[in-house]
Amino acid sequence: MESQIIQALEQGKIVLLTGLRGTGKTTILRSLEKKLKDCTFQDLEDPRLAPRPRKETLEVFSGASRYVLLDEVGRVDGWLDWARRQEGGVAASLSGPRINLSEKDVVQFTLYPYRLTDTSVDLLGYLKAGGFPAARTRDDLIRLFNLCLFKDVVQRYEVRDIDKLTAIAVYLISSSSRPVSASRLKGLISRSVDQARGFMAHLERSGLVHLVPRIEDGTRDRPQAARRCFSADCGLSVALAHREPDLRDLAETAVFHELLRQGLTVQAWRARGRLGLAVVGRDRPRLMIDVAWRDRNPVGIQPLGSAMAMHSCEEGLLLGEEDGAQGSIVMQNLRKWLESPDLPGISSPGRKVKGGSSLPAYLL
């Protein structure tokens, strides 16, 4: 990735690194600082820049450097307009999920938690521990959660009711892979549905949670409609949960993040009381997915088949213990799929993802 970033900077592009805190954005910028000549690095969360840095601050720190590296640039309003006026290259990091940018002069790289690529790590251990490069223990994950919550939500959106926000954040993250709704959360905080929706939107924009609508709901804004909530990482959901995690929930969270990593649009389906995932393209489901690994009550392929028939989808993928096929449904071992995620019936240039870095030592 670093060579691609350097190439983009040499071409005069603006490079934006996105991803949750703890995925390595600052580490990459620091590494670039050592490799690039005539380069300036600035941490825009430096306490000395309180209460908030401005574009004039960038002018002071950039000076006459050819390359400018800005960490947590979201704290500066209008930074992108400032970057476009620079003669040299600008690389910046922004905490949160990947954002949709159509600007031709901006190259975006999104960092994710580690993938399951090291065969010396057992699947169960990986799912329970997660994979943030900056987290080695449960305490590290809690610190990351608090850092994201306060710097990327409370400060960015000036949230005052911190206790209520924290309660919702913990509930959503620990309920990874399960359906949630604003009306249900209203009872948790004893406030209005609108306030619950506002808190949920802040948490989603920060990247701490992903709220996935059901296919039948489409893009309609329905306050009462339940959406499937996925945490930013399996390990984070385990660290915040006050119960033994459901293994299928963890497995489905890992699958969901592999789909996100590939830049796919994901929605949820419900059939025969079962919830699953769907890859959507051109306003229709292209692939229906069900995760049956370590399911307490195995139900076979019937719900998946029903969902495919209901939404006129010709391709299905069942991730469980065994490999095989039945009709248009491909069955694949979950671990094998996480190591090399292949999606039947879906092909797009650059879709496949190469293996990431080695896993943290505490997973070995």
Confidence of residue 204 (pLDDT cuts 50, 70, 90): very high
Q: Coil, helix or strand for 291?
A: strand
Q: Are 1 and 129 in contact (CB under 8 A)?
A: no
Rounded average pLDDT over 327-351: 82
* Element housing 304 (H / E): helix 302-310
DSSP tag of 74 = G
Domains of the chain: 2-110 (3.40.50.300), 123-354 (no CATH)
116 CB-near residues (< 8 Å, 6+ apart): 123, 126, 131, 254, 335, 338, 339, 359
pLDDT tens sequence across 52-109:
788 787 888 777 788 999 999 988 888 999 998 888 889 999 999 888 877 788 999 9
pLDDT of residue 6: 92
312 CB-near residues (< 8 Å, 6+ apart): 284, 285
Rounded average pLDDT over 156-167: 91
Confidence of residue 220 (pLDDT cuts 50, 70, 90): low
pLDDT tens sequence across 293-319:
988 777 789 999 999 999 999 999 999
Q: What span, in angstroms and rounded, lies between the C-alpha atoms of 110 and 98?
A: 6
pLDDT of residue 31: 94
